[in-house]
Amino acid sequence: MARDLYQALGDKWGTRPFTNIVNAEQRHMDLVVAQLERLGLPTTSKDGTAGQFANAEIQKLYDGWLSRGMTSQAEALSVGAELERRDIDDLEKIIQATSDQELKDMYGYLLQGSRNHLRAFENGGGGCMTGRPGTPGTPGSGPGSMNGRGGGPGGPGGGTGGGPGTNPDCPMNAQ
C-alpha cells in the first residue's frame, strides 16, 4: 500500500521522499510477496491495480491518506510520516509475536526501512541525505542495521548511531 500511496503523492508533488522511497517500497513489497508465497498465503492487492486492495481496512487507510495527502505538500509529508509510524508500531508488535526466524529477519529489515522513511518525511525530504549520525534507539536483537546508519550493535533499533553519513544504499541518496 505504501508504494502505491507514495507513487500517487510523488506524482502530485514531485518531492524527494515520495519519488525516492517508491523504489524502496517496491523492494519491500517484493520481500513480503516472497514470504507470502513461501507460506502459501494470498496477497492483499486487487488485480494488480495501483491503489486497489482486497482488504477493506487497507483500502480505507489508503483512500483516507491519499485524500489528505492531495491537499498540500505539507499534508502529504505528514501522511507519509503517519504511515511509517503505524508501520513501525505494527512491525515491532509482529516481531515479538513471530517465531519464524525468516519472517523476523524480514520484519527487522522492514522496520529499519520504515525508520529511515520516517526520518525523511519528518525532515521534509532531508532524511538520511543529511549525513547526520543516527539517533539513539532502544536496544534490539538480531543483526546490525541494514543501512549502516544508527543500527549498530543490537540490531534494529539498537545502537546510538554515529554512522558515516550518507549511504549509497539509502533510497534518499538516489539521484
* pTM, entire model: 0.69
pLDDT > 70? residue 13: yes
* pLDDT value of residue 47: 67
Q: For residue 45, list its beta bridge partners.
A: 53
pLDDT > 50? residue 159: no
In the chain, the amino acid numbered 154 is G
pLDDT band at 35 (very low <50, low <70, confident <90, very high): very high
pLDDT higher for 133 or 22? 22
* pLDDT value of residue 55: 84
| Tens-digit pLDDT profile for residues 99-146 | 999 999 999 999 999 999 999 999 885 433 333 333 333 333 343 333
The set of long-range contacts for 59-63, using a CB threshold of 8 Å and a minimum separation of 24, is 61/1, 62/1, 62/4, 62/5
Determine which helix (DSSP H) or strand (DSSP E) holds 9, and give its type and residue range: helix 2-13
pLDDT > 80? residue 169: no
d(CA 72, CA 136): 31
Q: For residue 53, list its beta bridge partners.
A: 45
* pLDDT value of residue 125: 53
Let me know: does 72 contact 15? Beta carbons within 8 Å: no
* pLDDT value of residue 20: 87
pLDDT band at 171 (very low <50, low <70, confident <90, very high): very low
The per-residue b/e assignment along 103-114, b for 16 or more CB within 10 angstroms, e otherwise, is: bbbbbbbbbbbb
| Tens-digit pLDDT profile for residues 37-86 | 999 998 766 567 889 888 899 999 999 999 999 999 999 999 999 999 99
